[in-house]
Structure 1
């Protein structure tokens, strides 16, 4: 709902606090799950209503905060099932939806709630929720690339990412050209606070040259790369010599090639991963 790990955690905490206060006041909560789902959804809608104003003045591309899982961590089944719903590409698509549209779409499409439950949670009529969902689904489908259950991403994503980062850090242009799609896109989110591309870079050769230059500079600064799962996709977290977070990279792989590279360097979006390096901030 939020695209922000920290704000999502705050919303969940607020919902549980509301449940605790209600119980202490003597209110009988027959179904805690329904209560919390409703509270989280409505708090999320309120958050999005205010966040939309902030996003309008955001510097450069906006990407969601990265959700990182260690490369060797055994992910739970539900995490695998929700991988497509956690991807940065999907979360960016959701930004086109209005707050209530986003809530209805998530409840129905991702979590499988019936229209009656969606109506109760959002405070809308069932007929209205059906209309909202149909409209939201059309808008998301219009911006979404064809879904491909790619075996590289699903089964061999970690190994693919490892070879990609080895080629990038080693300056192996030929290997990189062979791993990137002809129309590959590189997007960066620095929020005006970190050095990154301010506009999307497209094309295999342009992206390759940029990657080699970027990773060559990273090597001189002693930056290390640790492969990780990022929003359900292969990727990596970058650290400085003291082990502080510099940035996160997500790779969108399909048909055996990297279609999109997303790099989050905005220090405000890295704090939930650990101490943030000064290398992640622009020098003035």
Structure 2
């Protein structure tokens, strides 16, 4: 098989590789850089005469290990992050269908799920992702991470326990049915929020709903997560009313495997993303990302919410 054919075959694994890298980092840009670095490593290995018998396994290993290294350095930066840290949103909409590796992102990588993974160490996160999200066998997880199989089983048990303690995840419903129900609930939810219908909002919010806001010290956002349904509903109504005053509009989108909206200013620039985490017909969490550094991959970014001098 020629090198060009090999390269084409490996290129077909980009959706999987992007999903692994994004699941590790929570960053679209960093995930794309990691995948590109892995492909450069593959090219160098071939030029050095290395025979790659299984390009998929080789690339998955490279991306996972690069992700572990990246996350170790990112942890230091996140300790000094201003406010609530949220992943960069992966958005699929009519206006922005997105490249295949984004559109095929596993539904399991929801905003809420990625936030839960922040409680894990880099190696725990890799083991958990490979086994629970991508279905790798224990032997393959051990090979990819460079750990013994027995050690990986111990790491997985510990990671499962920590994730289970951290919160709920969506399970049990077929993807198509869940999407249809989610989009309908989101439509009613944002109509109620924009219309100031507190009773309708309260009917759709879970008793332990949480509102997260990520401005990163660069844009106006809540300083810490907000809880209690009535408070969350009031903040949503007030916030969306203020956004309307600045000429912002909401466009439905599918965000990290869940329903939500992308906020645009009067010039069509992206001002933020609101994603909903839904289970059993109720909104469990709302994730608002307005940090401009986390929106550039979605297009030109608005300065409506930007803090002075940022």
> Is this a same-fold pair by TM over 0.5?
yes
1:181–1:90 CA distance, 2 compared to 1 (3 A): same
TM superposition shift of 1:122: 1.0
1:74-223 correspondence to structure 2 within 5 Å: 82-83=106-107, 85-145=108-168, 147-149=170-172, 153-223=178-248
1:14–1:29 CA distance, 2 compared to 1 (3 A): same
C-alpha distance in 2 between matches for 1:272 and 1:139: 31
Give the count of matched residue pairs. 282
Unaligned runs of 5+ residues in structure 1 are none
Judge conservation of contact 1:80–1:232 (CA < 8 Å) in 2: no
Unaligned runs of 5+ residues in structure 2 are 1-23
1:142–1:250 CA distance, 2 compared to 1 (3 A): same
**TM-superposition CA deviations, 1:118-176 (whole Å, max 9, x none):** 11111111111111111111111111226554688443211221222122222222322
**Is 1:227 paired with 2:249?**
no
| Equivalent in 28, 31, 48 of residue 25 of structure 1 | 48
C-alpha distance in 2 between matches for 1:238 and 1:79: 20
Out of 202-211 and 138-147, give the one that drifted further.
Answer: 138-147
1:38–1:221 CA distance, 2 compared to 1 (3 A): same
TM superposition shift of 1:21: 1.3
TM superposition shift of 1:74: 11
C-alpha distance in 2 between matches for 1:120 and 1:45: 14
Judge conservation of contact 1:153–1:254 (CA < 8 Å) in 2: no
**Is 1:236 paired with 2:261?**
yes
TM-score normalised by L of structure 1: 0.92
TM superposition shift of 1:110: 1.2
- Secondary structure of 2:259's aligned partner: strand
Cα-Cα RMSD = 2.2
1:137–1:79 CA distance, 2 compared to 1 (3 A): farther
C-alpha distance in 1 between matches for 2:138 and 2:157: 12
Out of 59-68 and 138-147, give the one that drifted further.
Answer: 138-147
1:57–1:223 CA distance, 2 compared to 1 (3 A): same
TM superposition shift of 1:54: 0.6
| Equivalent in 67, 70, 74 of residue 44 of structure 1 | 67
Runs of 4+ in 1 over 3 A off after TM superposition: 71-76, 78-81, 146-154
C-alpha distance in 2 between matches for 1:75 and 1:204: 36
Judge conservation of contact 2:207–2:228 (CA < 8 Å) in 1: yes
C-alpha distance in 1 between matches for 2:70 and 2:61: 14
- Secondary structure of 2:273's aligned partner: strand
**TM-superposition CA deviations, 1:76-120 (whole Å, max 9, x none):** 9x978931x211111111111111111111111111111211111
2:10 counterpart residue number? none
C-alpha distance in 2 between matches for 1:242 and 1:229: 22
